[in-house]
Amino acid sequence: MGRLFGTDGVRGVANKELTASLAFDIGKAAAFVLGKGSGRPLFVIGRDTRVSGDMLENALTAGVLSVGGNVLKLGVIPTPAVAYLVKHYNADAGVVISASHNSFEYNGIKLFNGDGFKLDDSIEEQIEDIILAREFVHPEFVGDKLGKCLEAGDDALDVYTKFLLSTIDIRLDGVKVVLDTANGASYRTAGIVYKALGADVHMIADDPDGININDHCGSTHPEDLMKEVVRQKADIGMAYDGDADRLVIVDDKGRLLDGDRIMCICGKMLKDKGELPDGLVTATVMSNIGFHKYLEDNDMKSEVTKVGDRYVLESMLKTGSVLGGEQSGHMIFLNYTTTGDGVLSSLQFVNAWQASGKKVSELRDEITIYPQALVNARVRTDSKSAAMEDEEVMAKVRETEEKLGDTGRVLIRPSGTEPLVRVMIEGEDEDVIHGYAQDIADIILGKFGEEN
């Protein structure tokens, strides 16, 4: 068995790669490590709507209880709610059982520490080492040393929605909103929040059955939402993913706003309020050149990280940035929360929109997003690094950058999971930049392709 934890926890096909046995082992090892071998750590556990959630939740719970840990089950609730509630209940760890935007047959296990941040790599490694050694030596946890499932003194969903509402101080009476909850973890949360604000709420993809999570809906498939906003003549549409840590917006004309546009608009709001330290917004290398130009034109600046919310958060904690995120819609508002929160992000966007006095479509059109061409070059597994450093490839990149000038950019990066080198180019003319990307990819394929 290889290493278990990726950049976003343990993930795989439920009952095939992520089995009940593995979930039990993760719960047991995590409780042992976080309880320092003899304590009684408290774990709060939340999950999304996948059919495999019950199986994995109960298996993981059994593992925690078997080494003396206690468990508080939160039920179906967004990932960011667990990050918030772990502090509310003064727990030692939070666990989310979800595979985010993936289809229903996948599931995952993600761990937060007692402060609501993802576990340090060193602690994940300790947990992995116990599981992979398959020689779990521990004191006898019998009798009164076993853990218990506890009852919360309050309703977890109510606590979380009240927190969300505390981040916004306006009413939405007369505002028509369409919400797409991806048949996932926010299917109750989002509606509760926006109805409490007085909005006229129309819901879609809010009837989970265990297998329809992310199925042609949510932030990765907003097409139905775009049509519904137009059909309902709504002011705005919002789509979350299966575990509700991502957000995309649809304007009153049925057009999409991705994470780049949302961060631009929210960043300007925070800057105007004096709440954006040094005018800094944190993004990844995939953010569009139009994002960076908008920041520059509005006296803001960006810090750029590798792709992945883990790297975004690490950078934010180092630089003092309070807003960061990805093109995909995973955004962190660090003044309020420790992880991406789709519903909270949508509330901050609504704050910015309402303060502007403009339509969402007008705000969208203030930001020019440049066309993007992406060509994947399939290479030999051991050649990704060599392809990235090859002088002929780099010479072609420099030549292309000279042609683009300040109206575009070239980005080449290896896939973290596949034998691919991704060539991405942004510029003003979609056909032209696609040709440029193909030219670079052809050189990579000619020298490092699988058949060469």
In a shared domain, residues 183 and 254: yes
Structure tokens at 213: 């999570």
What pLDDT, on a 0 to 100 scale, did the predictor assign at position 396? 95
Residue 437 lies in a domain: yes
In a shared domain, residues 361 and 221: yes
Residue 317 lies in a domain: yes
Q: Say which CATH number the domain at 298 has.
A: 3.40.120.10
In a shared domain, residues 299 and 418: no
What pLDDT, on a 0 to 100 scale, did the predictor assign at position 37? 58
**Number of domains forming the structure of the chain:** 3
Among candidate residues 331, 365, 399, the one where a domain is terminated? 365
Q: Exposed, middle or buried, 115 (CB in 10 Å: 0-12/13-18/19+)?
A: exposed
In a shared domain, residues 17 and 130: yes
Q: Say which CATH number the domain at 392 has.
A: 3.30.310.50
In a shared domain, residues 150 and 171: no
Residue 116 lies in a domain: yes
Residue 1 lies in a domain: no
Residue 20 lies in a domain: yes
Among candidate residues 327, 348, 365, the one where a domain is terminated? 365
Please, which residues have CB within 8 angstroms of residue 235's CB and are 6 or more apart in sequence?
175, 176, 177, 252, 359, 360
Residue 2 lies in a domain: no
In a shared domain, residues 232 and 249: yes
In a shared domain, residues 302 and 387: no
Residue 4 lies in a domain: no
In a shared domain, residues 151 and 178: no
Specify whether 100 is catalytic.
Answer: yes
* Given the residues 21, 52, 66, 100, the one annotated as active site: 100
Averaged over successive runs of 10 residues, the pLDDT of the chain (452 residues) comes to 71 95 95 80 97 98 95 97 96 95 95 92 88 72 88 91 97 98 98 98 98 97 98 98 97 98 98 97 94 96 92 96 96 96 98 97 96 92 88 95 92 83 94 95 92 63
What pLDDT, on a 0 to 100 scale, did the predictor assign at position 406? 86
In a shared domain, residues 416 and 314: no
227 Rama class: left (phi>0) / alpha (psi -120 to 50) / beta: alpha
**Whether the Cβ atoms of residue 270 and residue 276 lie closer than 8 Å to each other:** yes
What pLDDT, on a 0 to 100 scale, did the predictor assign at position 22? 95
In a shared domain, residues 295 and 399: no
In a shared domain, residues 329 and 292: yes
What pLDDT, on a 0 to 100 scale, did the predictor assign at position 1? 42
In a shared domain, residues 146 and 184: no
* Domain around 181: 167-365
Residue 255 lies in a domain: yes
